[in-house]
Amino acid sequence: MMVSGLNKKIATVLMCGAMVTGAQGFGGFYAGADVGMGYDSSEHDYADLTGKGKKNQTAFGAVYGGHVGYLYEIGTSKTIVGAEVYGNLSSMNPSYQYGSDNLPIQGEVKIQRTNAIGFGLVIGKMFNMKTMIYGKTSYERATFKHEYKFRTTSYIAQYAGKTIRKNVSIMAPVIGLGIAYKPTRMIIIGGEYQFAGMYPKKKIFNETNIVTETSPVEHRLMLRVSFTFG
């Protein structure tokens, strides 16, 4: 009888150990892909010797990219901390007419964020072994392509009738909020909202007779799928 009771205790310990081993926490290395929609709400400022003009425009587009990172659970607190590196591309292309207010339009400019690379810190809390909510604070470097098409009637003589392309890079914080779910031990799926609206104004043209500035603001809603290692 004593042997039978001991066997039951051993079986119970083994079962508990198996349950812990089979738990699907969020710690470890991971890598995956992101795809979603973006909303651009930006400002373009123009100034020349005749005056100034300002335009605001919005645009929707796809955002897609990838990420790699590491998460760590602090003890048994269900608090997760980690770091992530990511990159993405965008098809948002807002277009503006530019010129001084109350004077003829000088041309049109199309702006595209061609790529962004960021490094983020993650803090999360698990509801259970499969579900987590988290916040992410990142620092991002984004590259924007500007295509200026000056009209033939433009009074900026050296550019009249020409198309000028200029690329600029802007660095700024990006904040995010997301939810993650582990349907299996090695797969994480989830969604994340990102606000990239703290970019400073950046000069594109900076000449004696023409100055232009851009001030981009982006909202991104991303679906994420990650593969975990270990």
Report yes or no: 211 and 156 within 8 Å, Cβ to Cβ. Answer: no
Whether domain 27-229 has CATH 2.40.160.20: yes
Band the pLDDT of 3: cuts 50, 70, 90.
very low
Handedness of CA 215, 220, 226, 230 (dihedral sign): positive
Average pLDDT, the chain: 89
pLDDT digits (tens, 9 = 90+) for 170-226: 999 999 999 999 999 899 999 999 999 898 899 999 998 999 999 999 999 999 999
pTM: 0.84
pLDDT digits (tens, 9 = 90+) for 50-77: 999 999 999 999 999 999 999 999 988 8
Element (DSSP H or E) covering residue 7: helix 2-21
- Between CA 149 and CA 55 the distance in angstroms is 16
Domain positions in the chain are 27-229
Report yes or no: 182 and 147 within 8 Å, Cβ to Cβ. Answer: no
3-state secondary structure of 77: coil
